[in-house]
Structure 1
Amino acid sequence: MSHPTSPANDTDPPADTEPANPFRYVVSPGFADLLEQLESTLLLTTYQAGKLMAVRARAGRVSTLLRTFKRPMGLARQGDTLALGTRNAVWFLRNARDIAPQLAPANTHDACFTPRHSHVTGDILGHEMSWGSPPPAVGGEAAPGAPANELWLVNTRFSCLCTLHPDYSFVPRWRPSFVTALAAEDRCHLNGLAMVDGQPRFVTALGRSDTPRGWKPGKADGGVLIDVPTHEIIADGFAMPHSPRWHAGKLWVLNSGEGELQVVDPQTGQRETVVRLPGYTRGLAMHGGYAFVGLSKIREKAEFGGLPIETSGEPLQCGLWVVDLRRGTTVGFLAFEAGCEEVFAVDVLPGIRWPAIIGFQQDTIHGLYVVPPA
């Protein structure tokens, strides 16, 4: 176990403050109680505001922690490691468990995610990511010396799934069969990734296109859900789908341009709408019988205008909505009133009630040391 050393003491400022907080939000009754009941923290990213946010609850009140990164998007946690995709790199933050109680206020935090290293990818428009088994080598067996788990990324600019390697920006591993070449042209806007048994199994794309940004004309109804091993299109006709997930033996997906959470039968492609929400749905995490769904307003009309959800006549919301999966109803929300108009990724930290995340906008990072025991 590592031995932490830190200058933190009772006179230090809290470890989870950032100089300026432009966010203003409201929460529904019971939202904080639900987080406390689940003994969990929610994470979200917003590239519009350039923030990684942790949503925590204590004594019936919600607290948000903000950290600044350049265009943060995809999130993936495995054990004590948190991966965060940014504009041109993936950051890896490690939970220094022993150091958490020492942070001010003392004995408040139960986790402390600290930046450890980054991998420079270049601006690949990296979207969702997930930990999984390494890809097989030629012959179907794992490559010699391959790690037990590897980070898979949706490389949107190059229309492929990729992994990381110290010698390269990225290693292409898979692309849809209708994409004929590896090119930095965002041909189909590949964006979402669902893992099954440690392997990439389902992906979403905004269109079946093989030309530069060819997905745009059909964004209102051209979205597809693809089976990775077979390359077959399971279902189509989506309005900008995102965030496929395999959970409790079912395939879930966000039909973003309709504001819907849906269940898809992977055998027949039949789609069932579980709930319709008041915003552009993107970012999905599931835990304890609940779905946590990110909602966004439509800021960039050139990219997202002309979607069915705009015809509802209701103002679009931005925030986190909670869906009871057993009943198919919303049971709570955190809605942003200022500072944030879009959400990208949503994740859950089960068993972590009050984490710290060390960022680069305050001096804490300069005096925080984690060293092995003597």
Structure 2
Amino acid sequence: MTAASSATEFHASRLFVSWLAEQGASLAFTTYQAGKLFFVGLNSRGELAIFNRSLARVMGLAVHEQRLWVASLWQLWRFENALQPGQSHGENDRWYVPQLAYTTGDIDVHDVAVDGRGEPVFVSTLFSCLARPDPQYSLRPIWKPPFVSRIAAEDRCHLNGLAMRDGEPAFVTCVGRSDANEGWREHRREGGLVIDVASNEIVATALSMPHSPRWYRGRLWLLNAGSGEFGHLDLASGRFEPVAFCPGFLRGLSFSGDYAVVGISQQRENRSFTDLLLDQRLAERGVKARCAIQIIDLRRGDVVHELRIEGAIVELFDTAVLPGCRNPGAVGFLSDEIRKTLVLPPDVA
């Protein structure tokens, strides 16, 4: 099945639509390269439905009940579902409206998560720290790696990923152990780390540009992007256990039941994305890096479904699963629609 959006085409594998219907969920993903937030669902005829909105350099996503947090170039947005149970907006059974934004400035927000109190926490890659939004400041740092000597706008270790556990920040990923301006670039091939936030201990080393750590079903899962591998970490030994190979640079990990949803990207033509083990793995398998959303069966490690993306979009950043939602959409910023969208409390006549 194929769907088009502007200069981009989406090609769904044969049973991708059936899988969405079985899961009773829809998907969201971001591409900062194109500045787009996408929703993937099913229309009233059971066909693939693709919806997008433009946000500058959109990256991290976090789902909390029917609320969606979205990180963009200089703001952290909170989108709320404007629909009451049983309502619809045209074909959409969830209609996200931007109701709150924190102005962060360009602090390079990567992963975003929601804690046990329903409050956001995020990775500021530029400042090499975990932080919370603040009503007065661009960010309020709450943690930094033990080897980073101070909070500075230098992207010292390329801290990028955050895993929550029991409602609190638990693990982070970074590309390299460095305390100098962009020093991580010297460690791309096998200098990646996983750090325990509570203990400050480095629990895994020798990874290649790790991204998107997530705690799910009692395991720490992550994407070893520089080798194209999805897998989990043995916390006792610090050993990364690959589960599946994906033909692209991996970023963006979420889950639905027995399945992982991952984003893969084509490789940039610059030094940061070349000379990685991924190059060798792709050549061995006789494939080129692609841009796609892939669905991996956690029980077998097979890539069972795919939504391939071709055209103007070649890089993805994050993915999210929207449970209980068939066909989501959102208000945009570039037309009068946002001016005319009014959401009132249900008890207002």
TM-score computed with the length of structure 1 as normaliser: 0.88
RMSD: 1.6
Q: 1:189 aligns with which of 153, 158, 171?
A: 158
Give percent identity, aligned residues only.
40
The alpha carbon displacement at 1:60 in A equals 4.7
Partner of residue 66, structure 1: 52
Q: 1:154 aligns with which of 117, 123, 134?
A: 123
> Quick check: 1:271 aligned with 2:244?
no
Please say if residues 40 and 328 of structure 2, whose CA atoms lie closer than 8 Å, have aligned partners that are also in contact: no
Deviation at 1:165, TM superposition (A): 1.6
For residue 329 of structure 1, the aligned residue among 294, 302, 324 is: 302
Asked whether the equivalents of residues 45 and 73 of structure 1 are also in contact (C-alpha less than 8 Å), the reply is yes
Equivalent residue, structure 2, for 1:345: 318
Task: Output one character per residue of 1:98-151: Cα deviation in whole Å (capped at 9) or x when no partner.
Answer: 398453x3xx32111001121001111100010004xxxxxxxxxxxxxx3321
C-alpha contact 1:152 1:163 (8 A) present in aligned 2: yes
Say if 2:20 and 2:41, in contact at 8 Å, map to a contact too.
yes
Q: Does 2:75 align with 1:89?
A: yes
1:93 Cα offset (Å): 0.8
Contact 1:263 1:273 in 2 (8 A): yes
The answer to whether 1:355 aligns with 2:328 is yes
What is the CA deviation profile of residues 172-197 of structure 1, one whole-angstrom value per residue up to 9, with x for unaligned ones?
00000000011000000000000000
State the shift of 1:289 in Å.
0.6
The structure with more radius of gyration: 1
Q: What secondary structure, in the 3-state scheme, does the structure 2 residue paired with 1:169 have?
A: coil
2:38 corresponds to: 53
Residue identity opposite 2:235 in structure 1: P
Written as runs of structure 1 = structure 2, the 5 A alignment for 1:137-286 is: 148-286=117-255
Secondary structure at 2:62 match in 1: strand
**Counterpart AA for 1:352:** C
The two structures have a TM-score, normalised by structure 2, of: 0.94
Shift in Å at residue 204 of structure 1? 0.2
**Structure 2 residues without counterparts, runs of 5 or longer:** none
In the alignment, the residues of structure 2 paired with residue 274 and residue 371 of structure 1 have an alpha-carbon distance, to the nearest angstrom, of 47
Q: 1:364: Cα distance to partner?
A: 2.0
- Contact conserved, 2:88 with 2:94, CA < 8 A, in 1? no
Answering whether residue 4 of structure 2 is matched by residue 35 of structure 1, we say no
Deviations 1:323-367 (A, max 9, x none): 000111110100112121011000000000011211112332221
Alpha-carbon distance, 1:217 to partner = 1.3
Aligned to 1:119: 102
Write the distance in 2 (CA, Å) between the matches of 1:363 and 1:36.
33
Cα contact 1:156–1:191 (8 A) shared by 2? yes
Contact 1:165/1:171 (CA < 8 Å) preserved in 2?
yes
| SS, match of residue 339 in structure 2 | helix
Which deviations, in whole Å up to 9, do the C-alpha atoms of 1:4-43 show, x marking residues without a partner? xxxxxxxxxxxxxx9x722112111100000011111100
Q: Number of residue pairs matched?
A: 339
Q: Could you report, residue by residue, the CA deviation over 1:44-71 in whole angstroms, capped at 9, with x for unpaired residues?
A: 0000010000011244531210100000
